[in-house]
Amino acid sequence: MTGATIWLTGLPSAGKTTLARAAADRLRDAGHRVEVLDGDEIREFLSAGLGFDRKDRDTNVQRIGFVAELLASQGVKVLVPVIAPYADSREAVRKRHQREGTGYVEVHIATPVEVCSERDVKGLYAKQAAGEISGLTGVDDPYEEPESPDLRIEAHQQSVEESAAALHALLGERGLA
Ligand SMILES: Nc1ncnc2c1ncn2[C@@H]1O[C@H](COP(=O)(O)OP(=O)(O)OP(=O)(O)O)[C@@H](O)[C@H]1O
Ligand SMILES: [Mg+2]
């Protein structure tokens, strides 16, 4: 089957990991080979030692983009729930896929910061507010919203299953599911 990278970009606690796992389950059930490259896991080994300044965030995204493309080129559906705050970093990953003739789909998980900071799955928004950390994406660090993603999901207005179905439908339209 045709592989592709499906990048889920959005703020911390937007629902990227949650949706990636739900979408992965659907794809597996439909017989696809699937991998999930989650930002947190990647930072534990592949990107261990990298920080959160602009340069290191870009390096992290390019490394993930490299691995994702390799897997996708071998027929795997690769879900990438990674913040990827900078538009030029995301564009470089898209271009790498285009150069290699590998499918690439950008999904913006567009949960607004007010909702994300209430969910605050990892307590980062609270820590930032308390002055314990700085450089939190969308609060005191940039998040450049995708201007024309392949799909924008208002993840705060619909259930996880509805979001996963919308993504699955798009992949179907593209001949990827
Ligand atoms: N409709 C929804 N879609 C996605 N997540 C939802 C939705 N409603 C509630 N949630 C909850 O919001 C939280 C989103 O957390 P998740 O870890 O998926 O975010 P994330 O974008 O991966 O964040 P991070 O960048 O910090 O890894 C989960 O606890 C999830 O259950
Ligand atoms: Mg996550």
- Ligand 1 centroid–CA 119 distance in Å is 8
- Ligand 2 centroid–CA 8 distance in Å is 10
12 annotated ligand binder? yes
- Does residue 28 carry a pLDDT above 90? yes
Query: Quick check: CB of 14 below 6 Å from ligand 1?
Result: yes
pTM: 0.98
List pLDDT tens digits, range 58-87. 999 999 999 999 999 999 999 999 999 999
Q: Which fold has domain 4-111+143-173?
A: Rossmann fold (3.40.50)
Q: Please name the residue whose Cα sits nearest to atom 31 of ligand 1.
A: 18
Query: Quick check: CB of 81 below 6 Å from ligand 1?
Result: yes
What integer pLDDT is reported at residue 54 of this predicted model?
98
10 annotated ligand binder? yes
- Ligand 1 centroid–CA 102 distance in Å is 28
Query: Quick check: CB of 138 below 6 Å from ligand 1?
Result: no
Judged on CB neighbours under 10 Å (0-12, 13-18, 19+), 20 is buried
DSSP string, 34-70: EEE--HHHHHHTTTTT--SSHHHHHHHHHHHHHHHHH
Ordered by start, the domain boundaries in the chain are 4-111+143-173
